[in-house]
Amino acid sequence: MKVGIPTEVLEGETRVAATPETVKKLRALGLDVVVQGGAGLSSHFTDEAYRAAGAEIGSSELALGADIVLKVNRPVAAEIAQMKSGAALAAMMALCHHEDILDQLAAGGIDAFALEMVPRISRAQSVDVLSSQSNIAGYRAVLEAARLYGRFFPMMMTSAGSAKPTRVVVLGAGVAGLQAIATARRLGAQVAAYDVRPEVKEQIMSLGAKCIELDLGESGAGAGGYARQLSAEAQDRQRSLLAGELKKADVVISTALIPCKPAPVLITADAVAGMNPGSVIVDMAAATGGNCPLTERDRTVIKNGVILCGITNFPALMPGDASAFYARNLFNFVSLCVTAADNGLQMKDYLEDEITASSLVTHRGAIRFKERK
């Protein structure tokens, strides 16, 4: 049974779905591995390193024609056309915004797994690609803010005078937000954070940040630990109350997302106008519309003197570690999918395991995807 690792074709993507480390582990499971030539170069993994780990270096056709295809991002039509019927595909599909590929995958007889659909249960932590990549994104977003902001993050005492610590506000205390809090604190900033889910207050405070509490008249806690969409009245009140907090901020890291919904608007144009010139907003929700309507996807712009950063793929800015974490998640996922048989390895019944069943979006020519509510 062969595993294929093609080069990622999405513009700006630098990650790869397997590293020499995980190739060795896949080989130890009894799987053959073919890596497309040059697939790991953007992540600083050479073809020679893959060969030394036991992989075959081949063409895109060879990698995409494997029994199991591992990718970072959803495949494009040309890639799907090269996959064989009955093959298994695992990738981050972003299906809430790209459902169109499901028909193509089903028509091709491909059993496709959307890794973002893995359930948030204890046993699934080792395959949780959202958490591993969000951790990296939260860290890198703060570094980008520090690069864009023209002042020190920590308090600095020098012979030429002192500099006050930067005031950072983090909106959203999921995995990315909590990592952003921790990173900003390590850099010496004063940090405050806000989340619509009241149960995360303890986590915010445990990282040394102040918790911003707003009386919205309802909770934003949803199923599975995710946030839910607030009522229109609560959203209006939230934006109004947050504007006062944002005026005090030098840097805002905005991470608020609602699964399968446009990103909630938390930072209005009026709120931006009320911030000090030179302040920075890093809008990590830019890929789904942004938490600020002034954000421009994959651009850094200045509006009303405030710097707005709309990078949509922060993990790609740290490709070595991002690929290493992602590839380990994928190895653990593959381990759940295969089992030893008399004639070698074979695929398990995907529907018998909660993890594989929840993430299986096309199976035997049928579409199984259901939006997260």
Nearest CA among 152, 322, 181 for reference residue 255? 181
Q: Note whether 344 and 30 are within 8 A (CB).
A: yes
203 among known catalytic residues: no
Examine the residue annotation and report whether 131 is marked as an active-site residue of this protein: yes
Helix segments in 149-266, DSSP class H: 175-186, 201-206, 232-246
Answer whether 292's CB lies under 8 Å from 281's CB: yes
Spatial separation of the C-alpha atoms in residues 366 and 351, rounded to whole Å: 14
Of 27, 47, 51, 120, the catalytic one is 120
Catalytic residue among 67, 128, 195, 250: 128
Nearest to 167 by CA among 187, 192, 143, 142: 192
| Catalytic residue of the set 219, 226, 228, 321 | 226
Judge whether 82 counts as a catalytic residue. Answer: no
Q: Which residues of 8-24 are buried (b: 16+ CB within 10 A; e: fewer)?
A: beeeebbbbbbbbebbe
Does an H or E element contain 340, and which? Answer: strand 338-341
Structure-block tokens of residue 21 = 């480390």
**Of these residues, 59, 125, 206, 346, which one is catalytic?**
125
Active site residue 125: yes
Residue tagged active-site, from 43, 82, 131, 279: 131
350 catalytic? Reply is no
Catalytic residues: 120, 125, 128, 131, 226
